[in-house]
């Protein structure tokens, strides 16, 4: 089970004066159970790539395979891809349209024919620290952070195999951000495949995620977290990540360890 990207190129407004290559020959494989961080400056192509994973965008060149089936295949139903690949878009709360939180949460499972029981809803609400009593409330009368949490639950509720978070913490305060990141970590520990586009990567170093860095629509780096974090400072700056104290200390420790090993080898 995997998402495979082969020689993917995506161009907006192709053959018009506004033509823009947003992805240029991307290759990638995301295996079941993995955690991936997508980093890169604004406009580098992260959202475009994410939107090809559930058939929202179909590549003009190259392929995206979801569990070995190309999103271009005539046999594949877009609804089946959407069921498998759940995306939490930026500002997902703008898509609310039902009168109660309960109805918002149950809408997608009904649409995709997925069963969800009270216990599971309660589990997700607890995970995101939302009181169960909120279910009967209107989603429009919540704080911005609470709305974001409801929007996240309304994707988790249909149990997609792959869960993609496209900058899920934009505009949130520190404590809501922590709550969202803890939920993401918990879901990955439970075996869920997670792809997360974010600038806040220090939160995830314990989980040893994989990192894809995009720059000017191209892959600038693909590899392990430790390889990524030991790249030169100017490359890290180019990736748009927030290099906080914790992350910088971790970086220095890894570099120090690598140098020690090199010295030991030289002394043999
Ligand atoms: N609908 C569109 N039509 C034309 N160009 C677009 C469209 N959407 C995105 N682009 C352009 O494609 C490039 C990649 O955009 P994309 O949104 O994928 O980047 P991003 O890395 O996700 O940025 P951000 O972090 O700001 O969301 C940018 O130059 C952007 O202006």
Domain boundaries, the chain: 6-267
Choose which residue among 16, 22, 52 to substitute to test ligand 1 binding: the one with the highest number of ligand atoms within 8 A of its C-beta: 22
Q: Is 254 exposed, middle or buried (0-12, 13-18, 19+ CB in 10 A)?
A: middle
- Sites in the chain below the pLDDT cut of 70: 266-268
Distance 96 CA to ligand 1 centre (A): 24
Whether residue 240 has its Cβ less than 6 Å from ligand 1: no
Q: What is the pLDDT of residues 10-62, one digit of tens each?
A: 999 998 999 999 999 999 999 999 999 999 999 999 999 999 999 999 999 99
Whether residue 13 has its Cβ less than 6 Å from ligand 1: yes
Whether residue 71 has its Cβ less than 6 Å from ligand 1: no
Q: Which of 218, 224, 233 is nearest to 43 (CA)?
A: 218
CATH number of 6-267: 3.40.50.300
Residue of the nearest CA to atom 29 in ligand 1?
Answer: 43
**Summary count for the chain: helices (H), strands (E):** 9, 10
Whether residue 11 has its Cβ less than 6 Å from ligand 1: no
Instruction: Supply the pLDDT for residue 228.
Output: 96
Instruction: Supply the pLDDT for residue 268.
Output: 65
Q: Is the pTM of this model over 0.90?
A: yes
Q: Which of 118, 94, 95 is nearest to 106 (CA)?
A: 118
d(CA 176, CA 146): 8
DSSP state of 199: S
Whether residue 42 has its Cβ less than 6 Å from ligand 1: yes
Distance 48 CA to ligand 1 centre (A): 6
Q: Coil, strand, or helix at residue 209?
A: coil
219 close to 62: Cβ distance less than 8 angstroms: no
DSSP state of 171: T
Q: Where are the beta strands (DSSP E) in 89-217?
A: 162-166, 193-197, 210-215
Whether residue 262 has its Cβ less than 6 Å from ligand 1: no
Instruction: Supply the pLDDT for residue 59.
Output: 92
ipTM field: 0.97
């Amino acid at each position: 089970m995997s998402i495979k990207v082969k020689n993917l190129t995506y161009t907006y407004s192709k053959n018009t004066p506004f033509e823009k290559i947003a992805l240029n020959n991307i290759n990638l494989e995301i295996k079941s159970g993995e955690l991936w961080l997508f980093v890169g400056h604004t406009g580098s192509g992260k959202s475009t790539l994410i939107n090809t994973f559930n058939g929202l965008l179909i590549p003009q060149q190259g392929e995206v395979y979801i569990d070995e089936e190309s999103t271009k295949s005539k046999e594949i139903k877009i609804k089946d891809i959407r069921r498998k690949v759940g995306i939490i878009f930026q500002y997902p709360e703008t898509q609310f349209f039902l009168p109660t939180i309960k109805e918002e949460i149950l809408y997608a499972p009904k649409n995709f024919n997925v069963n969800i029981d009270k216990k599971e809803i309660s589990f997700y609400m607890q995970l995101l620290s939302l009181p169960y009593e909120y279910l009967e409330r209107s989603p429009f009368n919540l704080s911005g952070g609470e709305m974001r949490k409801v929007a996240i639950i309304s994707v988790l509720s249909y149990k997609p195999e792959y869960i993609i978070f496209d900058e899920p913490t934009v505009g949130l305060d520190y404590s809501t951000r922590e709550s969202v990141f803890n939920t993401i970590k918990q879901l990955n520990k439970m075996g869920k495949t997670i792809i997360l586009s974010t600038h806040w990567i220090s939160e995830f170093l314990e989980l040893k995620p994989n990192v894809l860095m995009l720059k000017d629509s191209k892959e600038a780096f693909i590899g392990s977290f430790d390889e990524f974090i030991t790249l030169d400072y100017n490359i890290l700056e180019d990736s748009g990540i927030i290099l906080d104290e914790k992350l910088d200390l971790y970086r220095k420790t890894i570099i120090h360890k690598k140098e020690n090993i090199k010295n030991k080898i030289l002394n043999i």
